[in-house]
Amino acid sequence: MSEAAWRVIAREGLDRASMRAIAQEMDCTTGVVTHYFRNKQELILFALHQVTERLRGQMDVAITNLSGVDRLVAMLLSFLPLDQTRQEILQVWVAFLGYAVGRQDLMVEHRHSAGELRKVVIQELAALQKQQIIRSDIDPAIEANVLLALVNGISLDTLIQSQPLDSKQQKIALQRYVSGLLNH
């Protein structure tokens, strides 16, 4: 069920993701779908939670056996649409964000979800600062916002630019920025 919903949202966006479309994707009746999602609001919240879980999963895999600044870079690279899986995550995230604008209850959920990912980046920056790997004059909370804005901007750029940064260029841009945080 969740994979079918994910595919429909990634392919058609949240506006067109309906119980009927998900049922067609699964080759079943809408009754089966409404057993899992009572309404479109539940479907939309599911999409947001899936984005967060998938990003968190990507991050956990990326940082396995890494330490120091390499761990931070790998963590942030997991947000970039460098492969098909991350491109789908981006498409669903953008679909959710666009749908949530003007809907206060959905924006609250989005902020909560984004805040959870932000906490992980703050913790990583604080740990690097404690290890004296990054500069002591950096505020981890502010820098987490900047880093997330950077990866979010690069990600959105891949959707809207006619000549976006390719995966190699995305990595270089992120690594260049992070190198400026290092304690020299």
The CATH number covering residue 78 comes to: 1.10.357.10
* Residue-number span of the structural domain to which 124 is assigned: 40-179
Q: Is residue 55 part of a domain?
A: yes
Q: Is residue 155 part of a domain?
A: yes
DSSP the chain: -HHHHHHHHHHH-TTT--HHHHHHHHTS-HHHHHHH-SSHHHHHHHHHHHHHHHHHHHHHHHHTT--HHHHHHHHHHTTS--SHHHHHHHHHHHHHHHHHTT-HHHHHHHHHHHHHHHHHHHHHHHHHHHTTSB-TT--HHHHHHHHHHHHHHHHHHHHH-SS---HHHHHHHHHHHHHTTB--
Q: Is residue 137 part of a domain?
A: yes
Q: Is residue 15 part of a domain?
A: no
pLDDT at 16 over 90: no
Q: How many structural domains compose the chain? A: 1
Query: What is the tens place of the pLDDT at every residue in 144-175?
Result: 999 999 999 999 999 899 999 999 999 999 99
Query: What is the tens place of the pLDDT at every residue in 79-119?
Result: 999 998 888 888 888 888 888 889 898 889 889 988 999 99
Q: Is residue 146 part of a domain?
A: yes
Q: Is residue 18 part of a domain?
A: no
Q: Is residue 33 part of a domain?
A: no
